[in-house]
Amino acid sequence: MSLLSVIFALLAENFINRLSELRRFEAFYRYVGWLRGILPTFAFQTGAVTLVILVSSILFVVWLISAMLGDFLGLFGFLFAIAVLIFSIGPRHLEEDTQNVIKAFENKDYEQANQLASKLSGRSISEPPLQLVQTVRESILLQANSALLGVFFWFIILGPVGAVLFRISVLLKDNSENETDEFAEASRDLYRIMIWLPARICVLSYAIAGNFVDTMSYWHGVSDLWLRDSEEFIIISGMGALRYDHSQDGQSSHSHGDKEIPDVHLIQQSLSLVKRALIVWVVLLALLTVTGWLV
């Protein structure tokens, strides 16, 4: 069922328009605000306790619905799992955002390119064109994991509960970037825990889908697999898989007269790597599924 759910979710993401507009989390953020507002009245309240109460309450509801539909109405349980997976992806559409950035570069509208790159990455960006190309490439590699691969990984491991848990961890991390209280720290810790395993599989997927030898040449050693920061590991491995030349120092361009023009083809290369990595995931999942059937 996991394989079919992932395939249906990918088909929906690619063929159903405006899905990203339906992924609204205002109710979730209101619930976070309400819960954080009432829990300080209790003596035991800390950032970690608030986080556990918040996450477990949402996951319990998801688990309860999934279990009820699965036990009594198997088909509806399957459809519920697909729906949860679809709405745990994103929340934005990675390919659409990337193509919009590329169009802005092609039109030489670099102010618009910065605005679109900010939407793609989920943070404010204001950079010169040459550096912006590199930032967009890195954002694509990171967003592929947080928007797609990480969701699929935890869905395969824990079902709908896993997909929701991963999305919650990303949302809380993004929402607490400028905060320093205990809840923000606990949220970032949860994100680091949830992203650790998917990031390692993402790195291996990039290596298989790109250049394996060059990918490993960017590692400090095999210990990077368990010691290196997950987001940094994804970026350097992705660049290695793309046979990226560090001598350019991120300023990917080509000459046009006396001017250097940013090479937007490099952005497309990063998106193509992500697509190939997705194929690697689906093929691997298919093999595991077939092996399970044979056993």
The phi, psi pair for 283, rounded to 5°, reads -65, -45
Spatial distance between the Cα atoms of 228 and 221, rounded to a whole number of angstroms? 10
Arithmetic mean of pLDDT, 99-126: 93
Helix 265-294 vs helix 150-158: crossing angle, to nearest 10: 10
- What is the pLDDT at residue 260? 66
CA 57 to chain centre: 23
Question: 3-state SS string over 118-180?
Answer: HHHHCCCCCCCHHHHHHHHHHHHHHHHHHHHHHHHHHHHHHCHHHHHHHHHHHHHHHHCCCCC
CA 90 to chain centre: 7
Does pLDDT of 147 surpass 50? yes
Full residue range of the structural domain in which residue 107 is found: 2-294
pLDDT digits (tens, 9 = 90+) for 241-272: 987 544 444 445 555 544 567 888 999 999 99
- Residue 254's SS3 state is strand
pLDDT digits (tens, 9 = 90+) for 68-93: 887 666 788 889 999 999 999 988 88
Spatial distance between the Cα atoms of 122 and 133, rounded to a whole number of angstroms? 16
Q: What is the pTM of this model?
A: 0.89
Block residue for tokens 């697999």: 225
Does pLDDT of 17 surpass 90? no
Spatial distance between the Cα atoms of 145 and 164, rounded to a whole number of angstroms? 15
Does pLDDT of 50 surpass 60? yes
Helix 110-121 vs helix 129-144: crossing angle, to nearest 10: 20
Block residue for tokens 């092609």: 106
Closest CA to 2 of 281, 276, 201: 281
Band of pLDDT at residue 133, cut at 50, 70 and 90: very high
- What is the pLDDT at residue 293? 54
Arithmetic mean of pLDDT, 176-192: 90
pLDDT digits (tens, 9 = 90+) for 102-113: 999 999 999 999
Residue 79 has which token pair?
Answer: 């459809």
| Cα distance between the two ends of the chain | 16
Peptide bond preceding 129 in cis form (omega within 30 of 0): no
Band of pLDDT at residue 295, cut at 50, 70 and 90: very low
pLDDT digits (tens, 9 = 90+) for 270-292: 999 999 999 998 888 888 777 76
Spatial distance between the Cα atoms of 189 and 46, rounded to a whole number of angstroms? 14
**Cβ contacts of 35 within 8 Å, gap of 6 or more:** 50, 53, 54, 57
Tally of domains in the chain: 1
